[in-house]
Amino acid sequence: MEKQLEENFEPEKGFIKGEPLRMIYHNDEEHFSIALVKIIDTNESFDESEIVLKGHFSPLDEGEHYTFYGRVTNHPKFGEQYQVEHYQKEVPTSKEGIVGYLSSDLFYGIGKRTAENIVAILGEQTISRILQDPSVLKDVPGLKQDKADRLVADLKQHQGFEHIVIGLSEYGFGLQMAQKIYEAYQDQALEILQEDPYQFVFDIQGFGFKRADEVASHNNIAFDHPTRIQAACMYALNQGSSHGHVYMTFEALQDEVLSILQGSSGVITHEIISREIAQLVEDEKVLVEQDKVYLPSLFFAEAGFAKQLHRVMLSELEEEFTQAELMKVVGEIEDEESISYGKEQYDAIEKALHSKMMILTGGPGTGKTTVIKGIVNAYAKLKRKSLKPADYGKDEPFPFLLTAPTGRAAKRMNESTGLPAVTIHRLLGWTGGESFDKDQNNQLSGKILIIDEFSMVDIWLANQLFRAIPSDMQVLLVGDEDQLPSVGPGQVLSDLLSTDYIPATQLQEVYRQKEGSQIIRLAHDMKKGKCDEESLAKSHDFSFITCHEPQVLPVIQQVYQKAMARGHTLKDIQILAPMYRTKNGIHQLNQEIQALANPPSRQRREIKMKDDLTYRSGDKVIQLVNQPESGVYNGDIGEIVAIYKADETKEQKEKLVVSFEGKEVEYLRKDLNQLMHAYCTSIHKSQGSEFPIVILPVVRGYSRMLKRNLLYTAVTRSKQSLIICGDQEAFKRGVDTVDTNRRFTDLPDKIKIYMEAEVKDEEELNEEELSPYDFM
Cβ–Cβ < 8 Å for 731, 705 = no
Tell me whether residue 366 is annotated as binding: yes
DSSP H or E run through 640: strand 637-644
Cα–Cα distance for residue pair 686/702, rounded to 1 Å:
17
How far CA 256 is from CA of 75, 240, 265, in Å, comes to 34, 10, 11
Backbone angles phi, psi at 279, to 5 degrees: -65, -40
Q: Which residues contact 159 (CB under 8 A, 6 or more apart)?
A: 131
Cα–Cα distance for residue pair 423/456, rounded to 1 Å:
12
3-state helix, strand, coil in the chain (%, to 5): 45, 20, 35
Cβ–Cβ < 8 Å for 17, 67 = yes
Q: Which residues contact 728 (CB under 8 A, 6 or more apart)?
A: 536, 544, 546
Cβ–Cβ < 8 Å for 442, 469 = no
Distance in angstroms between the alpha carbons of the first and the last residue of the chain: 126
Cα–Cα distance for residue pair 161/246, rounded to 1 Å:
38
- For strand 292-294 and strand 247-249, is the pairing parallel, antiparallel, or unpaired? antiparallel
Tell me whether residue 367 is annotated as binding: yes
Cα–Cα distance for residue pair 615/641, rounded to 1 Å:
11
Cα–Cα distance for residue pair 426/444, rounded to 1 Å:
12
Cβ–Cβ < 8 Å for 485, 448 = no
Cβ–Cβ < 8 Å for 360, 374 = no
Q: How many CB atoms lie within 10 A of CB 650?
A: 6
Tell me whether residue 505 is annotated as binding: no
* Bridge partners, 70 (sequence order): 84
Cβ–Cβ < 8 Å for 159, 186 = no
Mapping DSSP onto H, E and C, the string for 684-702 reads: HHHCCCCEEEEEEEECHHH
Tell me whether residue 585 is annotated as binding: no
Cβ–Cβ < 8 Å for 695, 723 = yes
Tell me whether residue 490 is annotated as binding: no
Burial environment of residue 701 by CB neighbours within 10 A (0 to 12, 13 to 18, 19 or more) = buried
Cα–Cα distance for residue pair 168/97, rounded to 1 Å:
8
Binding site members for ATP: 365-369
Binding site members: 365-369
